[in-house]
Amino acid sequence: MPPPKIRTSAFVASLPLFNEFSAVEVERIAAGTTELHVPRGEILFSKGAACTGFHVVVYGQVKLSFVTPMGSEKVVEILGPGASFGEALMFLDKPYIVMAQALADSFLLHVSKQVVFDELERDPTFARKMLAGLSRRLHRLVADVEAYSLQSGTQRVIGYLLRDDVPAADASESHSVTLPASKAVVASRLNLTPEHFSRILHELAGAGLVRVDGREVVIRDVARLRAYPGQPATL
C-alpha cells in the first residue's frame, strides 16, 4: 500500500467513529478516504453541490453557512478537530444545503459514501455510531431553535460562553474562553447582528462579569455570570 494511504489509515484509526475497528476494517475505510488540505478562506463546497460522502476535521476549523434571501450570511456551525459533517445528506442522497469554508488552514478527511454503506452492511456497531452522531447533531439543532425562539440575545451569549462545563469548585473563579472565530462569525452563529453581539459583551464587561481582549473573553466569576438577571436556570 502506498505511503499516502498508510498515513490515511493512521488518521482514520484515531477518529472516535472508527477507533474500535480492526486494522483490516480501517484499511477498507482508508481505501475510500481522501485527504484534503484546505487553506484558510478556501471554499470546500458550495450550496447545491453533490454530497458524495462526509468530512471529518483532523485539524483546523470549518464554517458551515448559507446566504439569506436578504443577502446576509447565516453561520450554522463552526467545526473544529474531530467534528464531522455531511452524514445526513449523504444518507438522503441530497445536495449540500450549506456552503463550507475553512476559517483556518485545515486538514480534513473525506470518507466516500460507498465505503460507508459497505461498512454499514458489514457491522451493526458502525451503524449505531453513525446514528449516535446524527442524533447528537439533531439535539444541538433543536437546542439552537429553542434558544433563538425563547432566549434573549444576552441569554444566548452567556449560554455560549458557558457552553463548556465548568467544575463546581471553580464556579466562583475566572475562566477564559477563546472565541473560535471572528466576533461577526460567532454573532451569526448565535443569530445576532455583530453590533448586537458587541453591545452585549460591552454590557457584560460593564457589569464586571467579563473582560474582552480581542477574541479572548475572560469570565471574571462564573457563578455571577450564571446568575446574571434573565438567565434560565439551566445555564
**8 Å CB contact between 234 and 147:** no
Q: pLDDT band for position 75 (50/70/90)? A: very high
pLDDT, tens only, 135-163: 777 777 777 777 667 689 999 999 889 87
pTM over 0.85: no
pLDDT, tens only, 59-71: 999 999 999 888 8
What does the H/E/C string look like for the chain? CCHHHHHHHHHHHHCHHHCCCCHHHHHHHHHCEEEEEECCCCEEECCCCCCCEEEEEEECCEEEEEECCCCCEEEEEEECCCCEECHHHHHHCCCCCCEEEECCCEEEEEEEHHHHHHHHHHCHHHHHHHHHHHHHHHHHHHHHHHHHHHCCHHHHHHHHHCCCCCCHHHCCCCEEEECCCCHHHHHHHCCCCHHHHHHHHHHHHHCCCEEEECCEEEECCHHHHHCCCCCCCCC
Measured CA to CA, the distance from residue 204 to residue 222 in angstroms comes to 12
Mean pLDDT over 116-127 rounds to 86
Residue 2 has pLDDT above 70, yes or no: no
pLDDT of residue 171: 54
Q: Which domains does the chain have, with CATH numbers?
A: 3-149 (2.60.120.10), 152-226 (1.10.10.10)
**8 Å CB contact between 159 and 235:** yes
pLDDT of residue 45: 96
